[in-house]
Amino acid sequence: MSLPDHPMPLTNEVRQIARNWNFDSYLAATLAPTNVQGDLIALAAFVGDLERIRATVSEPALAQIRVQWWRDELQRIARDAMSDHPIGKTVLAAITRHDLPEGLLIGIADAIADQLSEPRFSDDHLLGVWITKRHAAPFELAMRCLGLSLDSRIVHQAGRACGFAALVKQARAGVDLNDAFGIVLTEEELISRVMTASVDVGAELAKQPRRKRVAYLPVCLTRHDVRDGKAPPERFERVWRTALAYWLGRF
């Protein structure tokens, strides 16, 4: 069945936000079938713009206002089917073409807002809910864009791999996870969770067709992001590791 309408052409601004602030998802999107590449890059740009706000706006209150703008814009998109924002326009096109649940997108914005308000994640359940909203939701959205049936377990595990890897990187950047978020897990425990989840996803995807691998390609980098004694892979290494995962299933 053909998709309704054509993907909206992407502006340079949208591509740059995706490439600069959500590089792993941008890379994965470039390996998708051409008829959905634009939609996946648009979603990568949406998440990237939220991460840009979190990382670059030094005043938490101002950052919260900017994230709230995205929440309001998503509600406007759902209500009025319109947006004046370059990323918003392309996200609206993706929502329309693939019948994407706006709630997943709003949940991502909520999760970014949570990081700005120093939430308490000492409860494993609360941490799991946050990881689902922030890190698993993009995988579900990608699968929907690709028109593939969802495997909730793999989506969950992919989210855990990326979520725990992101926390390890924050800890290594000097963030006290206990002080900032109430996370009592040690770095070693976080790394163990990254390894378990990424191995599980990789074992499943190694036997799947490339089209399905596209949605989960960022997982292939998580173990390398938390490897002992080495910095996370630079962009060139991220490119070839992503290519290996796509072509050969080497996660």
Kindly tell me if the per-residue pLDDT of 48 is higher than 80: yes
4-17: pLDDT as tens digits: 556 678 999 999 99
CA 135 to CA 110: how far, in whole Å?
12
pLDDT band at 1 (very low <50, low <70, confident <90, very high): very low
Location of structure tokens 């998109």: 77
Question: Which tokens sit at 94?
Answer: 């993706």
Question: Which tokens sit at 173?
Answer: 């950047």
Sequence spans of domains, the chain: 9-117, 121-251
**pLDDT confidence of residue 83:** 95
52-61: pLDDT as tens digits: 999 999 899 9
Kindly tell me if the per-residue pLDDT of 229 is higher than 80: no
CA 165 to CA 100: how far, in whole Å?
26
Of the given ranges (131-140, 152-161, 201-210, 225-234), which has the lowest mean pLDDT?
225-234
**pLDDT confidence of residue 228:** 85
135-149: pLDDT as tens digits: 999 999 999 999 999
CA 81 to CA 93: how far, in whole Å?
9
Mean residue pLDDT across the chain? 94
